Structure 1
Amino acid sequence: MKIGLMGLGTVGSGVVHLIEENGDAIEKKIGQKIEIKKILVKDPEKKRIKEAQGKITINPYDILEDPEIDVVVEVMGKEHPALEYMKEAIIRGKNVVTANKEVIAKHGKELIKLADENNVNLLYEASVGGGIPIIRPLKSCLAANKIYEIKGILNGTTNYILTEMKMRGMSFEGVLKEAQQKGYAELDPTDDVDGFDAARKLAILCTLSFNKYVVPDDIYTKGIRTISKEDIKYAEELGFTIKLIAYGRLDDDGKLEAWVHPVMISKKNPLNGVNGVYNAILVEGNAVGKLMFYGQGAGMMPTASAVVADVIDVANHIPAQNGYDDAEIKDIVDTVSKYYIRLVALDKPGVMSKITGVLGAEGISLVSVVQKEIMGEYAEIVLITHNALTKNLFKALDEIGNLREIDKVASVIRVEGDE
């Protein structure tokens, strides 16, 4: 089976290396040899790994028009021109394997339909969780289940930042700078720290789990830029750890709750121990109960492993496509959660009664209150609510923020228990 590889960056180089190193073992498993015939690059003069010699091209049609190439492996990244190359490959009857979460999250419905029409496979295991097998289990191993809920830590960069903030007492800005120096964060970290990367992955997982087509723009997304070392400290005192959680659940009314948001999770929660650049995904099905998928969510060889596994599935003629209905996404304000709230307020009698009065008027009661004196006449107040309708909480916080005794509403974070 001959492959056209589009992209020879970190993941592409890993794919080449893995096929070269494990080619004999793969051949024994599938009964045929896998060969990379052509590799598309932007700069033909750039120094490349030795295994790529003699296969380099800058013309995509050297791959797309080659009748011997059975599979196009796209690991270029970015939305364009990857989307156009994938479409062209599918129309020409070639199977496509990709690690491109942006293209799959935004255009998966169109590409899946196109692949069905042309009787080819579109496989994208590496688009979520790097080397963690999650797409294939949802499609096959768990296909007999009704999936109730899916949630997890889907971005290694944000998990690394939050872990370091907790372990070392550093600020978000300080850890981000270190992460960029170490290569854990991009020079422009927007996709990661603002939650967009996790939202793209969640859109893919929700589509597969609930058979409802979801696009990232439908998902309420809040990143970690506003998380301070003070929030980390208070979370620890209250018995929690802050993680950026991606969450999806299909309600009985057919509406999908889907969001990406910082969450305070209990130390008994299995996601609490997922630290550094690692990812984890919790899936609950009606037959299997609760499962956890854990591992490195990115990196050369873990991602290459998922890409090559998809190529092997193509060789084994494993069908890949599914039909999905459009999802009806529940507005974030209609969801229910406990919340952590950090306020900065004048340190004087009567302030707490005003705050609790506003919350009480919206039907919001409190689990705990922590008040600590800070600079001058102001105090920092930390509240944990009981379960509250988010619409009511937002309304109450708007009113609280307008009280003359309140300097600012500094932080609002969802809170989860043990599960």
Structure 2
Amino acid sequence: MPLADRRPLRIALLGCGVVGTEVARVLTSDAEEFARRIGAPVELVGIAVRRAGRRRDLDVPEELFTTDAMGLVTRGDVDVVIEVIGGIEPARELILAALEHGASVVTANKALLAEDGETLYEAAAKAERDLYYEAAVAGAIPIVRPLRESLAGDRVTRVLGIVNGTTNFILDAMSTTGAGFADALDEAQRLGYAEADPTADVEGFDAAAKAAILAGLAFHTRVTISDVHREGITEVTAADVRSAEEIGSVVKLLAICELDAEGAVSARVHPAMIPTSHPLASVRGAYNAVFVESEGAGQLMFYGPGAGGAPTASAVLGDVVTVAQHRLAGISGVGESAHASLEIVPIGRARTRYHVAIDVDDRPGVLSAVAQAFAAHDVSIKTVRQEGHGGDAQLVVVTHEAEDAALSATVADVRELDMVRGVSSVMRVEGVS
């Protein structure tokens, strides 16, 4: 049957911000090409917006815009709903209503998936419809589908990623220019890489949501954002960055999802030193990258722009093509895989190396006392050096791998030593084999 004679697949779009505008533009301007890729014409039947009458740089009929998002998703003749409004509500209510009324859903909503993905998955399974979300993690980088499908026959053991472009830009600027956090943040805001309120990025909330999604996919276990240990970069100093350079490393905000020796899941987001020899160390500016380790495939790295209208729209539209093809075939694609139901462990059980800077009195016996505090908690010291003299004396300790709880207890004891003026920095060291 010629394409022109096939019933159009009807698409509804929720949200017309930076990403939504780009999605609508491509769907309309490249409609013929999408029809060939999908196997049927596509028709954008409505765009839900918060405010009607607002001027938009988009060449679509004005009558497509509506403030009645619920009416749009429940009209009954929509095949695919694209949700790019973000947040928890009304996004959750709209997605559930769309599935209940027979539409498949493509979303970029990392916050909702990380908080209540279980409800969305169950609704999609009940409706026998697709729930696809490639754009929810790392923008244009294809990482959801490789974990969800390509590596489904493998055993993933670790996912290590730079998944927030704002924080990577800030830390990269601190490394290359010597700037402090505040100045680097100001530059990121001036260039449009950081929001006026950067809290979600710099405090690690955005990365933690993505870590929850990645961990769930990698280990076939339900992981929510509340399971992810989160630290931001606001306390990272220029001195931390210089210390990293001295041991051949750079500072990155990392999302780390891994299996421990007992087969339990650990998911955490925090700044860490990573050796310059590691592939993630070369990820510059606002770019993202995800490093995957598995038993069969070995080490894989996915790299590219992690945000922005066009890159994120690219991931959304890729899902739209897949979901639309499924609708034509009368099937649904991959659903939730949470069969493993592995234990999720707290940060205290995570194991890694540490870089600890300790301000000390410059007198005999200091090193011995500090070493005894580390030994008391079975934290092995790899290297130790003294920097400065007199009132500026500092011991810099790099440990072998140890449990986070043991390191925390060690630092607490070190702070109580009478020859210690303070512990000025504790940073994890990752990516060392």
Q: Shorter-chain TM-score: what band? A: over 0.9
Letter paired with 2:336: N
CA contact (8 A) 2:217 2:337 kept: no
CA contact (8 A) 1:246 1:261 kept: yes
Specify the alignment match of 2:198 in structure 1.
189
> Alpha-carbon deviation of 1:327?
4.0
**Out of 339, 354, 357, which is 1:339 matched to?**
354
> Alpha-carbon deviation of 1:237?
1.3
Specify the alignment match of 2:367 in structure 1.
352
**Out of 162, 168, 188, which is 2:171 matched to?**
162
> Alpha-carbon deviation of 1:6?
0.6
Specify the alignment match of 2:45 in structure 1.
37
> Alpha-carbon deviation of 1:252?
5.2
Letter paired with 2:191: K
Higher mean C-alpha deviation, range 378-387 or range 102-111: 378-387
Q: Are residues 1:123 and 2:137 paired?
A: no
Q: What is the root-mean-square deviation in Å for CA atoms of aligned residues?
A: 1.6
Instruction: Report how many aligned residue pairs link the two structures.
Output: 418
Specify the alignment match of 2:329 in structure 1.
none
Distance 2:394 2:93 in 1: 53
> Identity over aligned residues, as a percent?
39
Specify the alignment match of 1:213 in structure 2.
222
Specify the alignment match of 1:383 in structure 2.
397
Distance 1:60 1:365 in 2: 58
Higher mean C-alpha deviation, range 297-306 or range 394-403: 394-403
> Alpha-carbon deviation of 1:64?
1.8
Distance 2:277 2:87 in 1: 38
**Out of 269, 288, 294, which is 1:260 matched to?**
269
CA contact (8 A) 1:147 1:209 kept: yes
> Alpha-carbon deviation of 1:22?
2.9
**Out of 30, 35, 47, which is 1:27 matched to?**
35
Distance 1:185 1:179 in 2: 5
**Out of 425, 428, 431, which is 1:411 matched to?**
425
TM-score between the two structures when normalised by the length of structure 2: 0.93
Letter paired with 1:349: P
CA contact (8 A) 1:358 1:399 kept: yes
> Alpha-carbon deviation of 1:366?
1.9
CA contact (8 A) 2:39 2:325 kept: no
Mark the runs of 5 or more structure 1 residues left unpaired by the alignment: none
1:264-343 paired onto structure 2 within 5 Å: 264-317=273-326, 319-325=333-339, 326-343=341-358
Specify the alignment match of 1:112 in structure 2.
121
Higher mean C-alpha deviation, range 9-18 or range 249-258: 249-258
> Alpha-carbon deviation of 1:418?
4.5
> Alpha-carbon deviation of 1:417?
4.3
Q: Are residues 1:59 and 2:74 paired?
A: no
CA contact (8 A) 1:126 1:307 kept: yes
CA contact (8 A) 1:132 1:294 kept: yes
Higher mean C-alpha deviation, range 111-120 or range 387-396: 387-396
Distance 1:341 1:360 in 2: 15
Q: Deviations over 1:155-185 (max 9, x none)?
A: 1111111100000000011111221222211
Distance 1:302 1:255 in 2: 34
CA contact (8 A) 1:214 1:327 kept: no
TM-score between the two structures when normalised by the length of structure 1: 0.96
Q: Deviations over 1:172-201 (max 9, x none)?
A: 111112212222112222211111111110
Mark the runs of 5 or more structure 2 residues left unpaired by the alignment: 1-8, 327-331
Distance 1:84 1:187 in 2: 28
Q: Deviations over 1:382-408 (max 9, x none)?
A: 211112222221111001112233222
